[in-house]
Amino acid sequence: MRRTPLYRTAITSLLALTLASRASAQHLLVPMDEGQGNHLKAYGLAFSALKSGGRAEWLLNYRGGAFLLPDIPSLRRQATLDGVTVDAITDGALATARQEIAAGNMDAVVLERAPKIAIYKPPNEPPWDDAVSLALTYAGIDFTTIWDDAVLAGDLAKYDWVHLHHEDFTGQFNKLHLAYRDTPWFIAQVRRDEATARTHGLANVPALKKAVAENIRAFVERGGFLFAMCGATESLELAIAGKEVDIAGPFSDGSPLAADADQRMDWTRTLAFTGAHVEPSPYLSALSDIDGHQVNVPARRQPLGSYALREFSAKLDPVPTMLVQDHVGTLRDYYGVTTSFNRAVLKPGVTVLAGEEGTPWVKYIHGDYGKGSWTFLGGHDPEDAQHAIGSPPTDLSQHPNSGGYRLILNNVLFPAAKKKPLKT
C-alpha cells in the first residue's frame, strides 16, 4: 500500500517526539527508598558508572540515599538486566530535587572514581563464607583477594579499600581447636599458617598474624580505608595491642595465655578499643570482653534483639551519613564470632553509627586513624542470624533489598566520595 504524505508526516512527528524525549532525559536517578527493585545491585550500577569514568553523585538522605548517574545506554541496559529501578530525569526535574535537598537534612556528594578494593581472605576457602565477598559478587563490584604473603610484601598500598572478616589476628585460630582440632580443614589451616610463618622467618603463627595486623594498621595510618566485620574487628585490635607475640596465644595445642596478659597490652596504637580484658582460658572460645554478646561462651551469651541506625546531619557530618544510608532505620541483629562492641571499651572519639538502645553494646562504629579511616560492623551475616561453620552461603538473590547488606555496600562507595572542605 502506498503511504500518503500525511502518514509519513505522522511517522516523522512520532520519531521526532521520541528523540526529543530521550534527549531531554539527561540523568538517571536511582532511588534507594522502598521504590527500588534491587537495592544491592544498585550499588553495582553506581560502581559501573564510576568505573567507566562517568560522574556520579550520592544524594544523602534523599529517597533513601539515591544515586544520580549519567543517562547512557550501557547503564540503562545494566539496570534493566539487574532489575534496578531507575528514573530518567531532565535538568529541570534535577533542579527541583536540588532545591529540596538544599532545604532539608540532605546533601549531594560527588563520587569521583571507582575505588580499588581488596578482601583479605585465605586462598583455600574454610567452611564459612564472607558476607562482603557475597555482597560485592552479587552487586557486580570488582575486587582482588589478598593473603598474608601479599600483605607482608607491601601490596596493601595498591588498594584504596581493604576488608577483613573472620580471621583471628591473635594467632589463636579463633580457638577452634576446642571443637575442630581433628577436622581436615582445621589441620590444613594450622599447617598453612605455620609454613607461612617459617617462610617469613617468624617464630610462630601469633608472630605472623601480629606482623600482618601491623601492616594493616599502617595501611590505615597512611590514608587507607578499612572495613571489618565479625571476629576480625576484635582480633585485629588485640594483635595490635599485644606488646609481645607470646601473649597472643593460645596456640592450636591449647597452651594458655600469660596470667598478666591485661597488664602487657598497649592500647595506644589501636584503632577503636582500649582497656579490654583478654580471655586467658584456652577452654573458652571468647577472645576478650570487646564482644558485648559473648556469643561463644554459653554462660555469658546475650540474646539477639535489633539495632537502630543513628541519624546525622548530612551537611555537617557527611561521612557517618553516608555510612548509614538505608531504606530501613531498624534492623534485626545477627551473631558472629564478635557480634557487638562493648561500649565501655570504645576509645574516645569513636562514632557510634548503630546500636541497641538500653544495652551496654553497639553494633556499628567508625573512626579516623592517621590519614585514613576504619569502620567496624559486628556479626557474620546480616541475613543469617545463627550462621554456623558449614552453613551454606546466603543466596543474595533472595535478599536483593537487604538493609543489613546495604551497610556493607555503603562502605564500598565511601572511599569514592570527594572530600568537601570543613564547614566553620
Contact present, 243 and 268 (Cβ < 8 Å): no
pLDDT at 324 over 90: yes
237 vs 269: CA distance, rounded Å: 9
Q: Is the peptide bond prior to 123 cis by the omega test (within 30 degrees of 0)?
A: no
Contact present, 135 and 409 (Cβ < 8 Å): yes
Scanning the structure block, which residue is given the C-alpha cell 605455620?
194
Lowest-pLDDT choice from 3-12, 43-52, 161-170, 251-260: 3-12
Contact present, 361 and 341 (Cβ < 8 Å): yes
216 vs 364: CA distance, rounded Å: 20
Grouping H, G, I as helix, E, B as strand and the rest as coil, residue 49 is helix
C-alpha grid cell, residue 175: 580457638
Residue 20 confidence (pLDDT): 38
Residue 14 confidence (pLDDT): 35
Mean pLDDT of the chain: 87
The model carries a pTM of 0.90
Higher pLDDT, 255 or 16: 255
Residue 93 amino acid letter = A
Region 342-348: what's the mean pLDDT?
A: 97
Grouping H, G, I as helix, E, B as strand and the rest as coil, residue 217 is helix
Q: Which CATH architecture has domain 26-111?
A: 2-Layer Sandwich (3.30)
288 vs 383: CA distance, rounded Å: 26
**306 strand-pairing partners:** 332
265: left (phi over 0), alpha (psi -120 to 50) or beta: beta
Domain 117-416 bears CATH identifier 3.40.50.880: yes
**CA of 41: how far to CAs of 84, 85, 140, 145, 176, in Å?**
7, 10, 7, 21, 35
Model confidence pLDDT, tens digit, residues 32-70: 999 999 999 999 999 999 999 888 999 999 999 999 999
pLDDT at 243 over 70: no
Say whether 117-416 and 26-111 share the same fold: no
**377 strand-pairing partners:** 229, 364
120 vs 287: CA distance, rounded Å: 20
Contact present, 292 and 341 (Cβ < 8 Å): yes
pLDDT at 21 over 60: no
Domain ranges for the chain = 26-111, 117-416
Grouping H, G, I as helix, E, B as strand and the rest as coil, residue 114 is coil
